[in-house]
Amino acid sequence: NNIETVYSGIGGYEKIEGIVETFYGYVKENPILIPLFPDDLTETMHKQTLFLTQFFGGPRLYEAERGHPMLRRRHLPFPITPSARDEWLACMKLALIENQVEEPYYTEMIERMTLTANHMMNTPES
Ligand code: HEM
């Protein structure tokens, strides 16, 4: 069909891979986020690449490998505070900019990820 997805509009799988790599580079440097993540981010990056591909209209790679996303449930083991949400989104904004994601895709992606990030919060600020 001829309906343009965000995924194809930004440049497909390679672009998602670049965004994910840049994003976790920022996560590694972030004192609020890094304690939540495993030491080795290889698998985390892989899962996120599959997820964002599917989330933005590409092939349903995440479901094929991991089943239904159930993202809130999968995040419950990690205390996600409002500041962790803010830092996650800040890292993602930098990653989109650094990977030259342009309008209208930048705003569309940040809006959708903001909704999901809000949904992931499960712990009040300490
Ligand atoms: C997994 C943190 C928001 C998508 C994880 C993990 C952590 C984490 C610690 C586990 C790492 C792992 O399984 O290797 C956070 C924090 C967030 C946040 C602090 C702040 C709000 C989001 C958002 C999305 C997302 C907004 C999607 C747009 C995922 C995915 C996984 C994951 C797909 C892998 C789930 C799995 O298959 O096991 N996240 N996350 N996260 N996160 Fe987040």
Give all domains of the chain, ordered by start, each with its CATH number: 6-120 (1.10.490.10)
Percent of the chain residues topping a pLDDT of 90? 97
Confidence of residue 80 (pLDDT cuts 50, 70, 90): very high
- pTM of the full structure: 0.97
Before 31, cis peptide (omega within 30)?
no
Residue 9: pLDDT over 60? yes
Report angle CA 25, 62, 44 to the nearest 5 degrees: 25
Predicted local confidence at residue 2, as pLDDT: 61
Give nearest CA residue, ligand 1 atom 41: 117
Residues at CB less than 6 angstroms from ligand 1: 33, 36-38, 43-44, 47-48, 51, 66, 71, 74-75, 78, 80, 84-85, 88, 113, 116-117, 120
Confidence of residue 15 (pLDDT cuts 50, 70, 90): very high
Write out the DSSP string of 10-55.
HTHHHHHHHHHHHHHHHHHT-TTTGGGS-S--HHHHHHHHHHHHHH
Average pLDDT value for residue range 7-17: 98
How many C-beta atoms surround the C-beta of residue 16 within 10 A? 24
Average pLDDT value for residue range 24-51: 98
Residue 1: pLDDT over 70? no
